[in-house]
Amino acid sequence: MKTPAHLAAMHDDSALRAAFARAFGGRAPAALARAPGRINLIGEHTDYNGLPVLPFALPHAVRIAFAPRDDARIVLRHAREEHPPSEFIASPAIEHDPPGSWANYVKAAVEHFARLLLETSGAAARGFDALVDGDIPQAGGLSSSSALVVATALAFCEVNALSLPPLELASHCAAAERYVGTQGGGMDQAASILGAPGCALRIDFFPLAATPVPFPEGWAVLACHSLVRAAKTEEARAEFNRRVGECRVAAALLGRALDRPEAPRLGDFAKEFGTAACVRALGEAVPPDSKILARARHVFEEAERVAEATRALAAGDMRTLGRLMSDAHASARDLYEISGPALEELVRLFLEGGALGARLTGAGFGGFAIALGEEDPLARLMAEVDDRFYRVRAPARPLEELRFIARPAEGARVVRV
Ligand code: GLA
């Protein structure tokens, strides 16, 4: 029997196919690529330090209808008018659009995979016509941009008969996204590609590995936009990259203190020496109120919380998971300094409303906050947040695009039509 979710997906697919035909002179698409966004339960700013995360794939996704062309041109249309059309040649060196342009995420994937194709088979890239749509809220820290990179990579690989195992595909997508200038880790692309229905994913890095952890029936996450934009290619990029730089400085100082000059990441030290020894060694190298020390402490302690949270989730101990999420939020606010007044207000409303745990999710600097709970109480909590947050701060905005309740959904895929 078809579930309502299947029926909704079929409806979306046929609307996307029809929109493709309208955009490309009646032509039918050859296939559809779909890549979900993600929520991160816990493990923030650990990935690029080589330490684990615990996200899940959302039911919300970027979807691309596409058909191969006989030349190397990529002809892009977006279903939403605010995203202007774009055309460029698929090659291993593609000129950037101005920062903030949606086409840069498509260019990121095409440039990277065109280079890979050339290096692995000597072949030049074949282009495609593509119509993009999606329902992941943008600039909200739910990986709408990585989902666009992943969906584009899937379309490119399908058109160019490039076949990669999922973990390799995820690593390539993470490398591809550096094109936009953010020094992110690999969480978002891996969560989108490897997502499994009903499961969170414990993801490890260097080397990339993913283990599904069942998320118990009846439990879910309420996700609410703080109404503060967290756009990766705009204001938040400099702040994000500054945090990455601070972690590199911390790793370099530890390398000197612990005589491991070539260890590149905080994770290398955590694995060899443990949190306490690392914090002590760094504390002797910098003043006690140093930002470098605060950032590194967050990273080391967050990795320990991820390990504990993974065990709690696997045991169905949602109370412990919730407590760890709230601790992670306090650390993100006080040590990593990536929260803000609107996110704080949401987290306070969540906890006052009975959530088991609450925190910002994603890079921070705005975007979404999440609350953990059972499905029915979360629905009541959502109604309360509508009244006390959105109806006060954004009375004219449609609520559907600002908040939702979600459980883990499936990962990215291509469907031939
Ligand atoms: C962004 C990056 C991820 C990760 C998070 C913070 O989403 O793309 O790689 O670093 O921020 O945890």
Q: Which residues line ligand 1 (CB under 6 A)?
A: 44-45, 47-48, 184-185, 187-188, 362-363
Q: Which residues contact residue 358 at a Cβ distance below 8 angstroms, ignoring those fewer than 6 apart?
A: 325, 326, 329, 346, 347, 350, 351, 369, 370, 371, 372
Whole-number pLDDT of residue 302: 98
Give distance in angstroms: CA of 184 to centre of ligand 1. 5
Question: Where do we find the tokens 């709970």?
Answer: 373
**Residue 130's pLDDT band (boundaries 50, 70, 90)?**
very high
Does residue 20 have a pLDDT over 50?
yes
Whole-number pLDDT of residue 263: 85
Convert the pLDDT of each residue in 177-203 to its tens digit: 999 988 889 999 999 999 999 999 999
Does residue 5 have a pLDDT over 70?
no
Does residue 221 have a pLDDT over 70?
yes
Q: Which atom of ligand 1 is nearest to the CA of 48?
A: 10
Give distance in angstroms: CA of 213 to centre of ligand 1. 20
Give distance in angstroms: CA of 6 to centre of ligand 1. 30
Whole-number pLDDT of residue 7: 62
Convert the pLDDT of each residue in 339-372 to its tens digit: 999 999 999 999 999 999 999 999 999 999 999 9
Convert the pLDDT of each residue in 28-87 to its tens digit: 999 999 999 999 999 999 999 999 999 999 999 999 999 999 999 999 999 998 999 999
Whole-number pLDDT of residue 154: 98
Reduce the DSSP state of residue 75 to 3 states and report it.
strand
Q: Which of 187, 201, 368 to mutate to test the pocket of ligand 1 (most atoms within 8 A of CB)?
A: 187
Q: Which of 48, 201, 306, 329 to mutate to test the pocket of ligand 1 (most atoms within 8 A of CB)?
A: 48
Q: Which atom of ligand 1 is nearest to the CA of 143?
A: 7
Residue nearest atom 11 in ligand 1 by C-alpha distance: 363
Domain 4-215+409-416, what fold? Ribosomal Protein S5; domain 2 (3.30.230)
Give distance in angstroms: CA of 187 to centre of ligand 1. 6
Give distance in angstroms: CA of 46 to centre of ligand 1. 8
Q: Which residues contact residue 75 at a Cβ distance below 8 angstroms, ignoring those fewer than 6 apart?
A: 24, 69, 85, 87, 127, 128, 129, 130
Give distance in angstroms: CA of 188 to centre of ligand 1. 7
Q: Which atom of ligand 1 is nearest to the CA of 186?
A: 9
Residue nearest atom 1 in ligand 1 by C-alpha distance: 363
CB 142 within 8 A of CB 221: no
Reduce the DSSP state of residue 74 to 3 states and report it.
strand
Q: Which of 39, 42, 45 to mutate to test the pocket of ligand 1 (most atoms within 8 A of CB)?
A: 45
CB 200 within 8 A of CB 215: yes
Whole-number pLDDT of residue 2: 43
Q: What is the mean pLDDT of the chain?
A: 95
Give distance in angstroms: CA of 32 to centre of ligand 1. 27
Task: Tell me which DSSP letter residue 264 carries.
Answer: -
Lowest-confidence region among 217-221, 236-240, 271-275: 236-240
CB 209 within 8 A of CB 203: yes
Give distance in angstroms: CA of 385 to centre of ligand 1. 26
Q: Where are the domains of the chain?
A: 4-215+409-416
Whole-number pLDDT of residue 233: 59
**Whole-structure pTM value:** 0.96
97 tagged catalytic: no
Q: Which atom of ligand 1 is nearest to the CA of 182?
A: 8
Whole-number pLDDT of residue 12: 81
Does residue 231 have a pLDDT over 90?
no
**Residue 4's pLDDT band (boundaries 50, 70, 90)?**
low
Does residue 10 have a pLDDT over 70?
no
Whole-number pLDDT of residue 6: 60
Please name the amino acid found at residue 283: G
Q: Which atom of ligand 1 is nearest to the CA of 240?
A: 11
Q: Which of 42, 44, 47 to mutate to test the pocket of ligand 1 (most atoms within 8 A of CB)?
A: 47
User: Which whole number is the average pLDDT over 7-31?
Assistant: 89
Write down the catalytic residue from 97, 133, 188, 327: 188
CA distance 369 to 216: 21
CB 343 within 8 A of CB 369: yes
Whole-number pLDDT of residue 1: 38
CA distance 292 to 296: 6
Q: Which atom of ligand 1 is nearest to the CA of 46?
A: 12
Does residue 329 have a pLDDT over 50?
yes
Task: Please state the φ and ψ torsions of residue 155, each to the nearest 5 degrees.
Answer: -65, -45
**Residue 17's pLDDT band (boundaries 50, 70, 90)?**
very high
Convert the pLDDT of each residue in 198-217 to its tens digit: 999 999 999 999 999 999 99
Task: Tell me which DSSP letter residue 387 carries.
Answer: I
